[in-house]
Structure 1
Amino acid sequence: MTTFDNVTVVKKANIYFDGQVSSRTIQFADGTEKTLGFMLPGEYTFGTCAKEIMEIMAGELDVLLPGSEQWQSIKAGESFAVPADSKFDIKIKTPTDYCCSYIK
């Protein structure tokens, strides 16, 4: 899916790590949410309350998921899932465009 129809966009940006990571929240009529964001090269640790699926539209990164000791390489066109109530580490290799879906 390349577009989302009939959504509400939260005007205020989510800005993390001194502006190195930013996103905008979009809300759907059924109550689900996604964020559309951009990450600059660097190393970051994120926490999540809900299960999420992060789809990479452009860029390249490595991710260390909870419970794993091995980094996974992810590139444009790929995605990965993060369990609820967890933290994960990410190394952004090139500027990265992403869509994060929160699963209830």
Structure 2
Amino acid sequence: MFKTNDYFDGKVKSITFETIEGPATVGVMAAGEYEFGTSSVEYMTVISGEMDVKLPGESGWKTFLPFETFIVPANVKFGVRMKGDTAYRCLYR
């Protein structure tokens, strides 16, 4: 049914579930800076708060606000940072 995930000493938490289009997660990240790796293409949408993102090959950070989506390629690492608690949804393709 649902699987819960806990990363970075509990500062990032998510719940995995299945959608019609495939697997997805919804979660929250505490203020801070984190690096994640991907195994598939990820469509990340900010739900609340704001998220600074540094994608592979980019020289700077870009800020995403609620209901904005960014796409992360498969098999890469990317950085995120938040000034406050931030909620997100991620679709895996």
C-alpha distance in structure 1 between counterparts of 2:91 and 2:20, whole Å: 15
- 2:5 corresponds to 1:48: no
Match of 2:17 in 1: 26
Gap runs ≥5 in structure 1:
1-8
Provide the aligned C-alpha RMSD in A.
1.2
| Residues 55-66 of structure 1 aligned to structure 2 (within 5 Å) | 55-66=45-56
Q: CA deviation at 1:82?
A: 0.2
Q: Percent identity among equivalent residues?
A: 43
Gap runs ≥5 in structure 2:
none
Q: Give the number of the structure with larger relative contact order, counting CA–CA contacts within 8 Å between residues 6 or more apart.
A: 2
Q: Which has the larger radius of gyration?
A: 1
Q: Which runs of 4+ in 1 moved over 3 A?
A: none
Q: Which of 80, 84, 89 is matched with 1:99 structurally?
A: 89
C-alpha distance in structure 2 between counterparts of 1:77 and 1:85, whole Å: 25
Q: CA deviation at 1:29?
A: 5.3
Q: TM-score, normalized by length of structure 1?
A: 0.84
Cα deviations across residues 61-97 of structure 1 (Å, max 9, x unaligned)? Answer: 2110011111101111211110000000111122111
What secondary structure, in the 3-state scheme, does the structure 1 residue paired with 2:9 have? helix
Count of aligned positions: 93
Cα deviations across residues 15-53 of structure 1 (Å, max 9, x unaligned)? Answer: 0000000000011356x1000100010000000100001
Match of 1:6 in 2: none
- 2:63 corresponds to 1:73: yes
The structure-2 alpha-carbon separation of the partners of 1:60 and 1:28, relative to structure 1 and needing over 3 Å to count, comes to closer
